[in-house]
Structure 1
Amino acid sequence: MIRLRHMLRMAPSAGEIEGLASDDDVTFAPMEALADGVGGLDVSATRPLRDVAAGSYNYFRNGDVLVAKVTPCFENGKKALAADLKNGVGFATSEVHVLRPDPNKLDDRFLLYLLSSEDFRADGMRSMTGAGGLKRVSDAAILNYRLKIRVLATQKRVAAFLDRETTRIDELIAKKERLVDVLKENLLSELERLVTPEEHIHEELIPFRWVCRITEGQVDPTQPGWTNKPLIAPNHIESRTGRLLGMESAAEQGAISGKYAFPAGTVLYSKIRPNLAKACVSPVQGMCSADMYPVLPDRRLRPQFLLMHLLSAKFTDWATLESMRVAMPKINRETLGSYRLWVPALDVQDAAADKFFAEQARNEALTDKVKASLSHLREYRSALITAAVTGQIDVETYGKEGTASASLDRIEEEMQI
């Protein structure tokens, strides 16, 4: 093994820049320009050389490797291999290390994968210093890391192997992520269909205030009759699904100011940032914060069908537009009362709610399965990178024996939807 200090140079000097005028543009890379995981660099931002050369930014050029030094960016894997820089050079936030591999000793792609390995990341996290939540990986921690594969030709073979295998894994991940989006889009499309009359007639739409009442009157959450009852706030509701994520009592939340009481079966709607579409039907009696409207539909409107309206894109788009008329995005009672919604016969509402929520349950089960597959794939990619750059596998025989591609084939087959 050999220490990285013998294979690369850290923090090259901007003094090596030649042939550029002070008003020439160069790439500018704030922390958000670095991608997580295996890495990547957004080179779209530029600044004149004079604006960055004299500052506290870190200089780099094409071929250099950047890695975040500060929490939580280091743990998240922010890094990049610099390429396609404006005029061949760039300046990055001071919170990154700039590494320049010796081309005769260390392959730049191999170095990028090495920095992505769990072995390197764990070593770096153990070495972090600093106070509170702001800790950094020191220069010494990187320079003293012991490289297990020192032969350049072997490094290049490992990098080529990982380029091939991680590309395949990433393509499969992208496919699964798209499937999650499609499932969500299909469900929302079905929701719009179920809350919209087949033949749209304006007179069939009834103002919200005609069929719904927003309860008023507050209770003291510190009183014995209320302190142990659930207190529901927007953060307890999942966006756009109508799912109640959990319940906490008023006492558990340390509530002391007045809250709005409601009976079981009340529809709760978050009036703050309506673009998030946070609404649910409470299964129990409880209280809600002032950021929510407790809505009681009358006998003509089922709570579940009202919830479907509040989750629909039509209502959300309308509410979002209306909320922009005030400084803090929210929808007031009067405006909400003016919204016109379709209220069909109760049997039609019941059938629509049964269909939608059954479809939603199937959709969520399928989505959970796909997300489990995504987690499996990401874990496999991380383990494969670590094993390859630390010499635990022979990349020349690994794929041929079927333990790389075959494993991916098995994962893909198991997770087919």
Structure 2
Amino acid sequence: MLDAGRAVDDLHTTLPYIRAANIQDEGLRLTDVNEMPFSAAEARRLDLREGDLLVVEGGAVGTCVVLDHDMPGWSFQKTINRLRPTNDWSTRYLAYVLRSYRDAGIIDLICNGSTISHLTAEKLRALRVPAVQPETQRTIADFLDRETAQIDALVSKQEEFIEFLRERRRAEIEVAVSEVLASGPRLKHVIRSVRQGWSPQCYSWPADGINSWAVLKAGAANGGVFRPTENKELPAEEAPRPEVVVRRGDLIVSRANTRDLVGSAAVVEGDFYRLMLSDKLYAFTLNEDQALPQFVAAVLGSRKWRDLVEMQATGASSSMVNISQSDIVNLPMTLPPVDEQRRILTHLDDQTAHIDSLIAKAQEHIAFAKERRAALITAAVAEQIDVRSARKAG
């Protein structure tokens, strides 16, 4: 039923290709375009077509998108499978089936193994799908297109609101640390120690970092807020490394990220006894007689230091650049006395508490909307709701 196509990497000509990161639940996001080499003969055979279903094999396993237009001359990364079903099957319907399986944990179950999860072409072919008539498939897909578009629009509005609130938060931080000079002593003079983690092959899902071992992702410090849930569970057969467990008060800094997020800094505010650093994160222990980690994190998030970090970052891809430990510890920073740092932080907490509360509520709305979206897809695919009646009512 399913024809899984794969990209190749012969030489002679370069063509644009779709990466796994370009495939998202919201659709195909070609924010940056990469090219790869092909032979002239292979280039002539490339024919991504409207209706093709692209499924991520590794990484964000099972994420998929249906192409809404032909893309002649384009190829796709080897961690993507192209599915081209027979005429009895709708790729839009199959995409919703895959999303329901992913939300229910079925994709993770069939991909579970001792190494990183992969949804290979063979595993895709082996998946059982409901025996639904073609007309019913189209009806279900039409219903879900309409209903999920409304939910996605609500989510988009909430995300815009969160970004507006974060801009306000950043503005408050800018004002609070405006007197700190980007000159003078280097940050290394207030650093007691530096640790960097590791990046073993992990499961795609998160763990609690308290009862189960997990490795933090690069985005755990994004936006100046420590996010312990941004992690991946460590497989049981992989020996943990207690020496790289995060500690309360650690200043976490992102070593590798997008250019606007690399160098993001946040402070660990709790105890996570089995939550480890990845190799994309540094953990700095500061001399708190001279520098409070929360204050340094606020300074590193301000525009002057963001500009310094982004200038130091290296890397050819806009999707991932790096900053070295040396560049971070040598950032200039004239810090006020600790008592003044504490006073500024207290004022900043007062100014941002309401903003943080609004952000948390908006995030709850988004989580609820996504849960509703997943439940709706599962119910429609399983024919637990009468989509024909719902379509007439709509």
Number of residue pairs the alignment of both structures matches: 336
Aligned to 2:42: 53
Cα drift, residue 128 of structure 1: 4.6
Check whether the contact 1:11–1:99 (CA below 8 A) recurs between aligned residues.
yes
Q: 1:368 to 1:54 in 2, by over 3 A?
A: same
Aligned residue among 314, 326, 330 for 1:330: 326
Alignment of 1:32-181 (within 5 A): 32-33=21-22, 35-37=23-25, 39-40=27-28, 42=30, 50-51=39-40, 53=42, 61-68=48-55, 70-75=57-62, 77-81=63-67, 83-86=69-72, 90-103=74-87, 105-118=88-101, 125-128=108-111, 132-137=115-120, 139=122, 142=125, 145-152=128-135, 154-181=136-163
Cα drift, residue 41 of structure 1: 6.8
Please list every run of 5 or more consecutive structure 2 residues that lacks an aligned counterpart in the other structure.
195-215, 230-239, 272-280, 315-321
Q: 1:376 to 1:121 in 2, by over 3 A?
A: closer
Check whether the contact 1:65–1:112 (CA below 8 A) recurs between aligned residues.
no
Alignment of 1:218-257 (within 5 A): 238=221, 241=224, 254-255=242-243
Aligned to 1:10: 3
Report whether the alignment pairs 1:356 with 2:348.
yes
Aligned to 1:225: none
* More displaced 10-residue stretch of structure 1: 273-282 or 64-73: 273-282
Cα drift, residue 186 of structure 1: 0.7
Alignment of 1:289-368 (within 5 A): 292=284, 294-296=286-288, 308-318=298-308, 321=311, 328-331=324-327, 336=331, 339-340=333-334, 352-368=344-360
Q: Distance in 2 between matches of 1:119 and 1:323?
A: 36
Cα drift, residue 356 of structure 1: 1.0
TM-score, L = length of structure 1: 0.59
Cα RMSD for the two superposed structures: 5.4
Check whether the contact 1:267–1:281 (CA below 8 A) recurs between aligned residues.
yes
- The amino acid of 2:71's aligned partner reads L
Check whether the contact 2:5–2:82 (CA below 8 A) recurs between aligned residues.
yes
- The amino acid of 1:241's aligned partner reads G
Report whether the alignment pairs 1:276 with 2:263.
yes
- The amino acid of 1:92's aligned partner reads F
Please list every run of 5 or more consecutive structure 1 residues that lacks an aligned counterpart in the other structure.
15-21, 198-203, 219-232, 247-251, 257-263, 406-417
Check whether the contact 1:183–1:367 (CA below 8 A) recurs between aligned residues.
yes
SS in 1 for 2:157: helix
Aligned to 1:201: none
Q: Distance in 2 between matches of 1:216 and 1:47?
A: 45
Alpha-carbon displacement from aligned partner over 1:133-152 (angstroms, at most 9, x marks no partner): 35444547536624342142
Alpha-carbon displacement from aligned partner over 1:391-412 (angstroms, at most 9, x marks no partner): 22112322666xxx8xxxxxxx
Cα drift, residue 293 of structure 1: 5.9
Which structure would you say has the larger Rg? 1
Q: Distance in 2 between matches of 1:345 and 1:186?
A: 26
SS in 2 for 1:276: coil
Aligned to 2:170: 188
Aligned to 1:28: 17
Q: Distance in 2 between matches of 1:205 and 1:25?
A: 47
TM-score, L = length of structure 2: 0.62
Aligned residue among 377, 400, 412 for 2:369: 377
Check whether the contact 2:52–2:66 (CA below 8 A) recurs between aligned residues.
yes
Q: Distance in 2 between matches of 1:283 and 1:144?
A: 42
Q: Distance in 1 between matches of 2:174 and 2:266?
A: 16
Alpha-carbon displacement from aligned partner over 1:313-339 (angstroms, at most 9, x marks no partner): 223434654688x98353477x55x54
Cα drift, residue 206 of structure 1: 10
* More displaced 10-residue stretch of structure 1: 43-52 or 156-165: 43-52
